[in-house]
Chains A and B, each alone.
Chain A
């Protein structure tokens, strides 16, 4: 399906050739700065960041995706779980779907195992924190994924990435979206600093979060709990078609919210007792 290939090309640094693709999709052409803002600063385009145990690129989730490439006889690219590579691969399956039942099966597996476990939530966050130039792209990609999910039918089991996602373990796992049920972006942390009146130190997400916690841990914990609740709301608003996946995210978001609320409460009680 050419549509997915065209959508995939938006994940690359915009070049003059993108004008042609954007024209065909009737979408605005993002600038290089828009691209950097979205993919380099806010929402990293790698499945492993969202379904892995540490909220980082690579590791076992990337190996699982690479295994999928190998299982179908393809050499995994250098970044097998990059959104562009996954959408490009999906497009190649969709091209052959009419003639080959096997291709339809592969398309279903790729969709449910490696795209839907994280991408709908990622696109939902894109609507909130992404540059305007990418919002139309995100909306179109979301619609296309949904139509595909309807067309191919539901997954029989929860995707492996999510089944293997360890339970959240407090602050250590807050940046691991698949465990905590929340995607915390740099923009979110900036907002936290602003909302809580805290100073913001530049750095990677964990560093920024640590610096906020150092300044006012109870307030930041309350804010994180609220963010987890907000994530649950986002997930609950997802179409029913995505339910096998959203159930995981809702459960993890609620568990995270509850654990932070309990932490704040316990800390407050400890303060009173002291």
Chain B
């Protein structure tokens, strides 16, 4: 046997040597796909020339040669890796699969990734620049050259800038592109014109996290958790669906427990060990009861809380009568939350007390391996929803499950935004159309109030870009948007930058074709787990042509039609605004390699990868590649893994100079600030009275990094909220929702419109036939007991849902998968186009008759989806007619007075549809929408009333595009006056 063993060892050594030699060449030794290493992907050294059998030739075995080019999905925020299979003969993309080199998605995709092919081959897509040839919204278009479009747009922007009207330029973004790119473009123009969709999306969730830890997103380490608590249908519809879902599944396979709070029995809830279906908006009450139990029973991380919470500050400011000891704080905590018993929480939320107790027990047992997450859902649905994320994070903060393995990390620690070659200064302007004084603490721009602000004469727009955004359809109160967009006195020039037709593009002056995932450049980095990675979206065919030896200087040459890659567009536009450089704009868009010429995307990204991504140049050099070529080849790079507890890191001596420590341990230093390569947005806590900047926290004589909050600690107590007019919410608390039972009439129920199905991509679902085939209707979920009391409504019957503004008609779906007293209707459905719109999209859009008289709008469906002949044979196979209902048109605006988040949930009445009504019918009175707007505005506390220091907004808070310090000063008189 010894001889046999020796012989086997010789073979083993031979194989090992062969493997090492192969891998030293950067190649893969073992074949893929393979179960041996769970590698289900082509070996990366063969991405240039990969052969598969052509499925269309079946049953003949016809080999097909591909070039595999990585890019990044554009169909939600997760930025998962894709691998485009480019046919080497035709240079057409044949399919998209996962990119195994991507650290976030690890080669896996949800249905939306492969469906990118639908968008690329969409026969209805916008391929050329178009200009309206009649009145806005009349549906007549003419093709123009990019030069014509750019010259007119640039001239109007230049006029606005040179005439001192910078606030009349606005860029309104839907699906985000490259981290910080457009913010820098606007900063270079000196314009505070960034407008995001975030206040109809996630700003409620963000606010709760921001007040705790200074950073506005959680980065849960689901894969290593013992207990995962999700307040949402997160596995299927939240950000980051695919990267998080796969890690949650792994944790569950390992034995982790899953708790889901969701009014509906969502797909996610079906996976849960505990499904809790609370009354909408009562979640915070439950979380506070759990918190109280943890502290009351002493089963929380006392050492962590004592070390990292700003409890000293709380006692000093709010309870100076008490001894400043932790024991004193502990007693106070229990007093503060003494009302939050499990009995109260169960009664308030309509849930089972014993179940809540069991969940508290699970939290106590999970220790520092408690992973929690909420994003939209309750935080986006309710007045005070931002307290839901704040109370959820309270559990992490109590257990010390912050930046631990299996805990929740602050997002900026798990994200890497590389410094570009140019970083323009903060713009000197403040735009009150997006950051009005009534909302000094809003997390993001009050984007959805724009029509009302223009109506009130708060300003006007010379140039308004909607960029992959469809506010008419996505925002609440969509008819007000149509009223705004059709008024040329209010919106001078509307440019829709979009790959597809949309309800908003119909009302544009220019529709300019932008690219899908495989047609544009972007850098992305998201907090999918405890690591930092960088994903590179790139125009696939441009890279494919480069690999074949061609030079492509302008991406339009390789994209379909005249679809442009966005960075090149902004660089070109900026040059035309400032052709001679006299405005000081052009210098931010000039080549460093060839001064005086335009910056190209190869130079732009080549510089970033070579200078701002630690480790990438070395990694690329090991394979004989430049950093840019390496990223073009693999599409993603992991900078660091296992970042861990940054707050515990000792601040290096080099950053400490003339250090001063305040009475709560906040450390300030005069050492010059380091210029980081990672320019991920972080807050800017104020300097001390002598101008030293905050550098960390003094803990037992050692200065540690701490959190980017004013106190440097986790802020149980927010001095910011206390000082800016909301002292009653300075600590985590429960705010009764606008749809709390006390606020409903006897015949009203709550409508939850905040969920969606996992195959939907906002507007662009309608351009993805495969996805629309899976889901193309959004019926009204109702519990059988509700259906019974409304007269025995059956599934499929038409019902009318009456909101504050009007009503919509849709089919009923009677199901026990929703709580009694609540109805649900998914968003991302109900696309439509007016019958006057001859050009444009045929796929998955209803054709409607739109009537407008005074403030009354009526929409009646003429046609649903139907098969049709096109370049895509699949369009002849559309077998359904339903496209869902566009419920958002009937919703008034509900801005939360603190976070600014639109509170989506609606108090509605449901009844059988009237004879003659049809699915998709909508009726709205926009006069009523003005009343709703004013009602919610009355709940605000303006900066003019509450600002403690004469500024518009706390400077330390995050803001997507932050103006310079001077712009923060409040003007002498209120704009409201």
Interface residue ranges, A against B (CB under 8 Å)? 1-3, 5-6, 8-9, 11-12, 14-18, 20-21, 23-26, 70, 73, 75-77, 79, 82, 84-85, 87-88, 91, 140, 143-144, 146-147, 150-151
Contact = CB atoms under 8 A, between A and B. Distances in A.
B29 A17 contact: yes
Contacts of B19: 2, 24
Contacts of B4: 143, 146-147
Contacts of A85: 35-36
B18 interface: yes
14 contacts: A2-B19, A3-B15, A5-B30, A6-B15, A6-B30, A8-B34, A8-B35, A12-B31, A17-B29, A20-B22, A84-B34, A85-B36, A150-B5, A151-B5
Interface in B1-35: 1, 4-5, 8, 11-12, 14-19, 22, 28-35
B253 interface: yes
Contacts of A147: 1, 4-5, 8
Closest 6 CB pairs of A and B: A17-B31, A88-B36, A24-B18, A84-B35, A15-B31, A3-B12
A16 B30 CA distance: 10
A2 B31 contact: no
A9 B12 contact: no
B327 interface: no
Given A3-B15, A75-B253, A147-B4, A20 B29 contact: yes
B250 interface: yes
A70 B253 contact: yes
A15 B18 CA distance: 17
B38 interface: yes
A73 B254 contact: yes
Given A21-B18, A21-B31, 15 more contacts: A2-B12, A2-B16, A5-B36, A8-B36, A9-B31, A11-B35, A11-B36, A12-B34, A17-B31, A21-B30, A23-B18, A24-B19, A79-B35, A84-B36, A88-B37
Nearest to A14: B31
A1 B19 CA distance: 12
Which among B5, B28, B30 has the highest number of chain A CB atoms within 10 Å? Answer: B30
A144 B8 contact: yes
A3 B6 CA distance: 13
B43 interface: yes
A97 to B, nearest CB: 12
A87 B30 CA distance: 14
A121 B31 CA distance: 27
A213 B415 CA distance: 67
A76 B253 contact: yes
Given A70-B254, A147-B1, A77 B8 contact: no
Contacts of B250: 75
A146 B250 CA distance: 35
A2 B35 contact: no
A14 B31 CA distance: 8
Interface residues of B, number: 30
Contacts of B36: 5, 8-9, 11-12, 84-85, 87-88, 91
B31 A24 contact: no
Contacts of A3: 8, 11-12, 15
Contact of B34 (A1, A9, A144): A9
A247 B31 CA distance: 38
A9 B31 CA distance: 7
Interface string B28-62: 11111111111000010010000000000000000
Given A20-B18, A70-B254, A25 B33 contact: no
A73 B223 CA distance: 12
Contacts of A12: 31, 33-36
Contacts of A143: 4, 8
Contact of B15 (A2, A17, A150): A2
Contacts of B37: 88
B1 A18 contact: no
A8 B37 CA distance: 10
Contacts of B17: 24
A23 B29 CA distance: 12
A23 to B, nearest CB: 7
- In the complex, which of the residues B18, B32, B36 has the most CB atoms of chain A within 10 Å of its own CB atom? B36
Nearest to A143: B4
A20 B22 CA distance: 9
A24 B12 CA distance: 9
Contacts of B35: 8, 11-12, 77, 79, 82, 84-85, 88
Nearest to B43: A17
A15 B19 CA distance: 16
A150 B1 contact: yes
Interface centre among A5, A79, A87, A150 (most CB of B within 10 A): A5
Contacts of B30: 5-6, 9, 17, 21
B15 A25 contact: yes
A215 B136 CA distance: 81
A21 B19 CA distance: 8
Nearest to A83: B35
Nearest to B16: A2
A26 B34 CA distance: 21
Contacts of A1: 12
Contact of A18 (B15, B31, B38): B31
A88 B31 CA distance: 13
Contacts of A18: 31
B5 to A, nearest CB: 5
A70 B37 CA distance: 17
Contacts of A20: 18, 22, 29
A42 to B, nearest CB: 19
B5 A77 contact: no
B275 to A, nearest CB: 24
Contacts of A77: 35, 38
A151 B1 CA distance: 9
